Copies of this chain bind each other. A is one copy, B any other.
């Protein structure tokens, strides 16, 4: 697999074409951002940690029958994925209240959400990733009702797999954001699953082990990501 031209550079990853027109190379950078890109910093080792973390999780999901774009690791900070047409909609499931939900609805952080909630957001930094819904996505052509139904069902299937996986490592999967794309007409999980795009709390102490450490300036960000990985059996060296 040969890396070719840069296709686009996001806030945390750079996406390269490859010698296979159906495959891309994702380069996980150390760049870390929050608040739609308003807070930015490079956190040493993050690219490597998230690349390996994501590979581990994507393989678990693939093994559970969830179609993902992940193909293989290419280097410490790069992996090969299916080249997809991304759907500009973020799918969020929450098991416990935190973050935007607490801010918007004024509910208490940490309360259990039964059943877990499902929300859609438009992936658009300029517009501040506004909350949308199935109706708006259909009318504005961001996704069809059928695609949205598949995305919702896959997002909940991810919950079934990962809630248990993290619990086995002594952690609570509080919430997470997924992005999907189209590959050969099929809805496939894309982007990444890492502590950058989910909330993970220690099951006993409720210590935050995810990007909220960065958002809230708590420090020990990458140390926490590595700790999460180790508890799941990953090795980063």
Contact = CB atoms under 8 A, between A and B. Distances in A.
Interface residues of A, number: 24
A105 interface: yes
Contacts of A105: 122, 127, 130, 132, 136, 140
Interface in A89-136: 104-107, 113-120, 122, 126-127, 130-133, 135-136
Best-buried of A113, A120, A136, A138 by chain B (most CB within 10 Å) = A136
A119 B133 CA distance: 7
Contacts of A136: 105, 117, 119
Given A104-B130, A106-B126, 10 more contacts: A105-B127, A105-B136, A105-B140, A114-B139, A115-B135, A117-B136, A117-B139, A118-B135, A119-B133, A119-B136
Contacts of A118: 133, 135
Contacts of A122: 105
Chain multiplicity (copies): 2
Contacts of A107: 140
Interface in A130-172: 130-133, 135-136, 138-140
Contact of A139 (B115, B135, B138): B115
Contacts of A135: 115, 117-119
A230 to B, nearest CB: 33
Nearest to A94: B139
A127 B105 CA distance: 6
Contacts of A116: 139
A126 B139 CA distance: 30
A130 B119 CA distance: 13
6 contacts: A104-B127, A104-B130, A113-B139, A116-B139, A120-B133, A131-B133
Best-buried of A115, A119, A135 by chain B (most CB within 10 Å) = A135
A13 to B, nearest CB: 25
Given A115-B138, A117-B139, A138-B115, A133 B133 contact: yes
Contacts of A114: 139
